[in-house]
Amino acid sequence: MFDRLSRSWDLVKASAGVLRSDKELMLFPVLSGLATLGVLATFALPLFALRIFEHGIGLAWLPVAFVFYFCQYSVIVFFNAALVGAALIRLEGGNPTLSDGFAAARRRLPAILGYAAIAATVGVLLQAMKRNETNFLVRLLGSGLGVAWTLATFLVVPVLVSRDIGAIDALKDSVALLKRTWGENAIGSVGIGAAFGLLIGLGAVTGVALSYLAFMGSAALGIAVAVLCAIGLMLVAVYQTALTGIYSAALYRYAVSHEVPPGFSGAQLAQAFEPRR
């Protein structure tokens, strides 16, 4: 277990080194966040203004939820594909620009939309299971399936960007790579989420405490501190998204070609892709 943790940490550090060499990659998560906020506002404002769900949600939320998930996933996957496309160019020794990343995503737009439709369907079904108020086991199963779906689809975006195949075949390839090469070594991707989740949680608690103390002095100071803390948390989230994209791109590149990207140790990657025993 210690060896796996150490190896995953080494891979994360190497991914961070790639990100330090090309900080422009963090612009993709920023633009993605702005776009998803735009989609959220497009749905939320009319729903609140028209009071569509004023008398309860019921089954009426299902078609609305599907369309919302589809739009959100389309935006998120598109920008993730742009990030991964640029990261793959960097890992091959190139110097990618924003336009290079977006060009890679645009070339695969039909497959991205297809995958967004699949992900939206799965998302609605999982949310329905998690919202089941009468059966705890159904809610628990929904949470477990959500984790399994996240792991199984971790390499979908690199597959979509790198290969001229449809969404279903990309899903199959992602699952095959997980079965063939990962096993318990998926700890790297889980570790990134856990570490940054803890960091963001601690930052949020600290930010609330500092903002409260500042408000005791003056309202203007309290607002300024709160805004600065919020910006800091958003920057951490942006860094996490960019780091995860580079990490997935590096793992995929080595899994299919066994070529070691610059900044990564061959031994580290070889061990990360040892088959399960």
Inside any domain, residue 97: yes
Tens digit of pLDDT for each residue in 203-226? 999 999 999 888 888 888 889 999
Q: pLDDT tens, 259-269?
A: 666 666 665 66
In a domain, 168, yes or no: yes
- Taking the model in full, what pTM does it have? 0.83
Task: Quickly state the pLDDT bin for 276 (edges 50, 70, 90).
Answer: very low
Q: Residue 277 domain-assigned?
A: no
In a domain, 263, yes or no: yes
How much is the pLDDT for 262? 66
Give me the pLDDT at residue 161, please.
93
Q: What is the pLDDT of residue 64?
A: 78
At residue 184, the pLDDT reads 42
DSSP annotation string for the chain: -HHHHHHHHHHHHHHHHHHHH-GGGGHHHHHHHHHHHHHHHHHHHHHHHHTTTTT--GGGHHHHHHHHHHHHHHHHHHHHHHHHHHHHHHHTT----HHHHHHHHHHTHHHHHHHHHHHHHHHHHHHHHHT-SS-HHHHHHHHHHHHHHHHHTTTHHHHHHHS---HHHHHHHHHHHIIIIIGGGGHHHHHHHHHHHHHHHHHHHHHHHHHHHHHHH-HHHHHHHHHHHHHHHHHHHHHHHHHHHHHHHHHHHHHHH-PPPTTS-HHHHHHHTPPP-
User: Which residue range forms the structural domain that includes residue 196?
Assistant: 2-272
Domain membership of residue 193 (yes or no) is: yes
| Residue 51 binned pLDDT confidence (cut-offs 50, 70, 90) | low
Q: In this predicted structure, what is the pLDDT of residue 197?
A: 82
Give the mean model confidence (pLDDT) for residues 92-111.
90
pLDDT at 24: 87
Whether 247 is in a domain gets the answer yes
- Total domain count for the chain? 1
